[in-house]
Each structure stands twice: as structure tokens, then as C-alpha cells.
Homo-oligomer: A and B are copies of this chain.
Amino acid sequence: MIMKNIKLTIEYDGTNYCGWQKQTGLKTVEEEVEKAIFKSTGKRVKLYASGRTDAGVHAYGQVANFRIESTIPGDRFIYPLNDKLPDDISVKKSEEVEDDFHSRYSAKSKTYRYLVYQSKIRSALLRNRAYHFSYELDIQKMKRALEYLVGRMDYSSFTPIKSNINKNIRTIYSADVFREAEYIVFEISGNGFLHNMVRIIVGTVLDIGNGHRRVEDMKDIIEKKDRLSAGKTVPAYGLYLKRVEY
């Protein structure tokens, strides 16, 4: 049998997990997927993901790959895996990829979504799915605020991790906000994201959307390179890793 490199695209509801990455004694998505691969093939493999997601964060399209000697065609792993996985994790696609493909190092960009439910009254059915925000929001102002963030720059204001010079530089390709069904959706694509970066960006832009800060304040917030200049970190359960592009 030849060694295959299998790429999985994985959806999960992060509510009941301590994030993606394996941690002794804690329930994680990574461990559940590795267990399902073991139950399906009898083999222990090491999974390489596009990146970790924090506790409570969801994914429509997390990507992870693993190497295995198996006669199962690449596009067929999906069936036994979905049988063995718990209900709140599903494999959306499996495929054999080139041997040098690596979910993290080969990634060109990632897209995150953050869902806000704007209403005076909270929604029981949207709990753990969207952040409930009670006050009015100006979508156009938030769009303009997000424009400041597009480009290559130091995003130190949007992460609690202090860094040596230049370690917090990333590129955001696009950042938008729009209404979709019952949600206000933030969608941000970039070549990489710092710890809590999307959640702090959304927290800051909500301050602008509800009038507590001005659109132009975004320029200062970025330039200060200081976490204290930005808004609060909105909850993990509104965040979704939507897609990883290669």
C-alpha cells in the first residue's frame, strides 16, 4: 500500500469543545477526529490543521490533513468518518492531495465569520450561535471602519499577545459587514490571524456601529498598537472559521 496524504474539510459546533487542539483531559475536536480515523481504519494518525480554534468557536470549513497507508480512496474517507464522529462534528469533504500539502503551511488565506444578533430581546434558539447585541447598529459606519483594517499592517491593538517588533504584522484581504437572514455578519479574510484578532476587531467595530466611537477613530486605534486602545473581545460562540483557501 502506498502512503496517502488525505485532506479533510470539517464542520463543527464548538459549543461543547475546549477548542480544536488536543489537551490532556479535555474534550477537543482534534481528538474526536483522530479517534474517528482510528475507529475507521485501525490506525493512529497525526492530524495537521490549518490552525487551532479556541473553546466555543465553530467551523464550517476547518481543514486538516493526515498521512495514512490505506486502500480507501481519498474521497471515501468521508463516509466511515461521519459514521464514527459525534453529531456536532461532520466531515464535509475528503480528498487525496499531493504529498507536500500541509493544512497550515500551504494555506493562502483564511476567512472568518462573526455573527451578531441585533435585537432588544435575546433569542433562545440563537444562543451559542450569535452574539446578542441590544443596541442599534449603523452598518454603513461599520463598513467604513472595517476598510481601515484592509492591507498589510501591525495588528497589535487587536490581540492580547504583546510582540517584538513586526511579529504582529499580517495582511487582511477583505473585511465586510452585511445583513443576512436574522444576522449581522462580519466576514474577514486574511493571510493569518493573531490570537483573538477577529473577536477584538468585531468588538471595536460594534463600538463604532452603535455610536460610542467615530469611524475615524479606527485609524488611531490601529496606530497605537496597544490592546487597550481597541474595544472588548466579543464571545467565542459568535465566531466561525468559514473557509481556508490554498
Q: Which residues of A contact B (CB under 8 A)?
A: 11-13, 58, 60, 78, 82, 87-93, 121-125, 127-129, 181
In the complex this chain forms, how many copies of it are found?
2
List of B residues within 8 angstroms of A12 by Cβ: 124-125
**Is A124 in contact with B89, judged by CB distance below 8 angstroms?**
yes
Contact A121-B90, Cβ < 8 Å, known A13-B127, A127-B13? yes
Q: Write the chain B residue with the least CB distance to A121.
A: B92
Contact A125 B92 (CB under 8 A): no
CB < 8 Å: which of B78, B87, B88, B123 contacts A90?
B123
Docked complex Cα distance between A123 and B11 (Å): 7
New A-B contacts (13) at CB < 8 Å, excluding given A60-B125, A90-B121 = A11-B123, A11-B125, A12-B125, A13-B124, A13-B125, A58-B125, A78-B121, A87-B124, A87-B127, A88-B127, A89-B124, A90-B123, A93-B121
Contact B122 A90 (CB under 8 A): yes
- Minimum CB–CB distance from A35 to chain B (whole Å) comes to 15
Tell me the bound Cα distance from A11 to B121 in angstroms: 11
A85 and chain B: residue at smallest CB distance: B124
Partner of A181, one of B58, B122, B181: B181
User: Which residues of the other chain, B, contact A60 by a CB distance below 8 angstroms?
Assistant: 125
A128 to B124, CA, bound (A): 14
Q: How far is the CA of A133 from the CA of B129 in the complex (A)?
A: 23
